[in-house]
Amino acid sequence: MKVTVYNCRAFDEKELFERFGEELHIELVLCPDAPDKENAALARGSECIDIITSKMTGDLLKIFADYGVKYVTTRTIGYDHIDVKAAKALGMTVANAPYGPCGVADYAVMLILMTIRKMKRILERTNIQDYTLKGIQGRELKDLTVGVIGTGRIGRTVLKDLSGFGCRLIAYDLYENEDVKASGVSYVTLEEMWQQADVITLHAPLTDENRHMINKETISRMKDGVMIVNTARGGLIDSEALISGIESGKIGGAGLDVVENEFGLYYYDRKSDILNNRELAILRGFPNVTVSHHMAFYTDDCVETVVRDSLLGCRYFVEGKENPWEVR
C-alpha cells in the first residue's frame, strides 16, 4: 500500500516516516509542501493521504478523490480545516491522529503563568538591559479563579496540572465529566464563567456553534482585567473584539498559540513578506499579548505519536480494521 504525505518536515518527521513506513510495510511519497491542485497528482496510486492543518476544501478533496484517494488523515487533533461533509459526500474517510494531552496542557499552563506574570514585558526588558520594575508586577495563581472551557483530554489535564497551584478552578463543557466533578472542580454556566474567571483557558474544538464564543458581547460580561489563553483554535475568539478589549484595558493580557486566519502563515518562514493578517500584527505588538505559532503540540513525544498513528490509521483503513481515529 502507498501513502502520500504532505507537509512532511525534513528536520523532524522524515526519519520517523521512513522508520514507521518500513515497520508498517507502507510505501511513502513524501512531499514537503501543503496539498494543492498542482501537487495532488503525487497522490495518484495512493489510497491515503496524510496532511497537517492546511485547508482541504470540497474542490480540493474532489481532485484527490479523482486520483483515487479514499482516506485523508491529519497529523493533528483538530480537523476543522477539512470539509468533512464534502469528504463524506465523495465517499472519503477522514481521520485524525491524536497524541497525548500533556504537551498542549503544559504549554497552556506555561502561557497562563507567562500572562499573569507579564513575562513578555520582562523578557523584552532584560533583552535590552532594562532592569526596572515599574509595570511588571504580576499576580499569583492562588489568588485567581481559572476557568477551563472544554474538559476533554487536554482541558482535564490542565485542570489536574493547575490543581497544585491552589487557584480556584471552574469549568464549562457541553457534557460534564464525572472525574472532573469528583476532583472538586465545579461546572458553571458560560454566564458564570464570564462573571467569575480571572483567567479563561480554551480547550474546545472549533465548531459552527462556538465560532467567536469570545466576542464583543461576551467580553463585556467578563471581569475587568480578565486574561485569556487560547491553545485550541483561533476561530473561538473574534480577534477584532479581543483587540478592542485589550485596547480598552478590559482584557488584562492574552496568551495565544492560535489565531484566526493562520492558514498559510504558520510553519513557513515569512520574515521578508508583507502579510495580510492585520489582527495578528496588532496582537503581536501588544506588550501584554504573547503569540506563538500554533506549536503547543510540538514535543518529541507528540511528533513521534502522530507520525506513527497517522500511518497506522491508514493501514487499519486499507485492511478494513476498526480504526479508532476515524472522524464519524
Catalytic residues: 233, 262, 294
Of 20 and 297, which CB lies nearer to ligand NAI in the complex structure? 297
**Which residues contribute to the site for ligand NAI (CB under 6 A)?**
77-78, 98, 101, 104, 149-155, 172-175, 203-205, 207, 209-210, 231-233, 257-258, 294, 296-297
Q: How far is the CB of 298 from ligand NAI (least distance, A)?
A: 7
**Distance (Å, whole) CA 98 – CA 294:** 15
Q: How far is the CB of 158 from ligand NAI (least distance, A)?
A: 9
**Distance (Å, whole) CA 20 – CA 17:** 5
User: Between the CA of residue 117 and those of 112, 140, 164, what are the distances in Å?
Assistant: 9, 8, 18
Q: How far is the CB of 246 from ligand NAI (least distance, A)?
A: 21
Of 21 and 155, which CB lies nearer to ligand NAI in the complex structure? 155
Residue with the shortest CB distance to ligand NAI? 152
Q: How far is the CB of 45 from ligand NAI (least distance, A)?
A: 31
- Which residues partner with 289 through β-bridges? 254
Task: Confirm if 217 and 105 have CB atoms less than 8 A apart.
Answer: no
Of 69 and 149, which CB lies nearer to ligand NAI in the complex structure? 149
Of 64 and 194, which CB lies nearer to ligand NAI in the complex structure? 194
**DSSP E strands: which ranges in the chain?**
2-5, 27-30, 48-51, 71-74, 93-96, 145-149, 168-172, 186-187, 199-202, 226-230, 251-256, 289-291
**DSSP E strands: which ranges in 31-107?**
48-51, 71-74, 93-96
